[in-house]
Amino acid sequence: MAELVRELACVRARRAAGRTAGSLLREAAVRLRDAGIRTARLDAEVLLAHVLGWRRETLYTHPDRVVDDRAVAEFEAAIQKRLARVPVAYIRSKKEFMSLEFTVTPAVLIPRPETEVLVESVISRLEGKDSPLIMDLGTGSGAIAVALAKFLSAARIVATDISPAALSVARLNAGRYGLQDRIHFEVGDLFEPLHAGEHLGRSYLGSFDAIVSNPPYISRGEMKELAPELSYEPRIALDGGQDGLDFFRKILAGARSFLKSSGFIALEISNLRAQEVKVIADGLGYSTSILPDYSGRDRVLIAGGVL
């Protein structure tokens, strides 16, 4: 009994000395919830753990641990950003994808769990293949290219993006995992850098085992109704044109000259217009299949066997 009294006294003393992790977490979660943020508790946990340099589990095991004034101020700044609907990934400057950590900035789209299905579909088709060559169009943060290079140890990858700022982030992420020698980055719109390379005596025609992309696929009408968080992500990585299909038309039409006869295309698609993308691919002579994501929604189009 005396030991319990002493422990309670210690807890009270710690609380009197400053703000505790538990109290900060509870208050922040309420503020985020009251602002209409559905992931309020999770966001508060992730941001507090980030500021403190803790694992999230530690917030539960040590809720009475006192947080110093500097960390309290830093956490408050993070919560203010989240209240303004800045995505958590941009506040932390990092995002996990395929069990890897990636640096992200507002210059790049935040990697989504759904895109892991795209990467896994490519890995499953190229595992065991001798030195496969892969093209990643619109690489952004480099998440797809880096994950493919990481899990396909023999693969070489050419990754393009129209944004020099995005490629700077992608190069940083490739360097983090020591993959910069197996991923070649080129600035330009989709296939443009590869066509330009032909003039330098470097031809990629008929060379690729796979062409992969998570292209912009939100229609102009949908762009007007996006969640506030998406306003912070680069519009160029979201806007798929009037009907959301512009990039699918360009990629599927342009890919055939770069693919090997045995090669394939893997594209992330919107479940809202999966069949429309399939019609485009079928019309260009590809044999196609559609794969679901973890929620059962159409998410990936595989196109191969060009006639």
Q: Which domains does the chain have, with CATH numbers?
A: 2-84 (1.10.8.10), 98-304 (3.40.50.150)
Confidence bin at 305 (pLDDT 50/70/90): low
d(CA 158, CA 197): 12
Please give the pLDDT value at position 16: 42
| Mean model confidence pLDDT for the chain | 91
- Residue with tokens 């992608």, as numbered in its chain: 170
Confidence bin at 1 (pLDDT 50/70/90): low
Reference 281, options 260, 300, 302, 259; nearest CA is 302
Confidence bin at 206 (pLDDT 50/70/90): confident
Q: Which residues contact 38 (CB under 8 A, 6 or more apart)?
A: none
d(CA 290, CA 271): 10
Q: Identify the DSSP state of 233.
A: S
Reference 301, options 293, 290, 292; nearest CA is 290
Confidence bin at 194 (pLDDT 50/70/90): confident
Position 200 pLDDT exceeds 50:
no
d(CA 30, CA 32): 5
Least confident stretch, 82-96, 165-179, 198-212 = 198-212
Confidence bin at 127 (pLDDT 50/70/90): very high
Section 161-180 average pLDDT? 97
Dump pLDDT digits (tens) for 45-91: 999 999 999 999 999 999 999 999 999 999 999 999 999 999 999 99
Dump pLDDT digits (tens) for 139-156: 999 999 999 999 999 999
Residue 68 to residues 10, 15, 44, 59, 102: CA-CA distances in angstroms? 17, 12, 17, 15, 28
Reference 160, options 131, 192, 132; nearest CA is 192
Least confident stretch, 248-257, 279-288, 297-306 = 297-306
Please give the pLDDT value at position 204: 82
Please give the pLDDT value at position 100: 98
Contact at 8 Å (CB) between 182 and 156? yes
Please give the pLDDT value at position 299: 97
**Longest CA span, the chain:** 84
| Crossing angle of helices 143-151 and 115-126, rounded to 10° | 30
Q: If you compute the radius of gyration of the chain from its CA atoms, what whole number of angstroms results?
A: 23
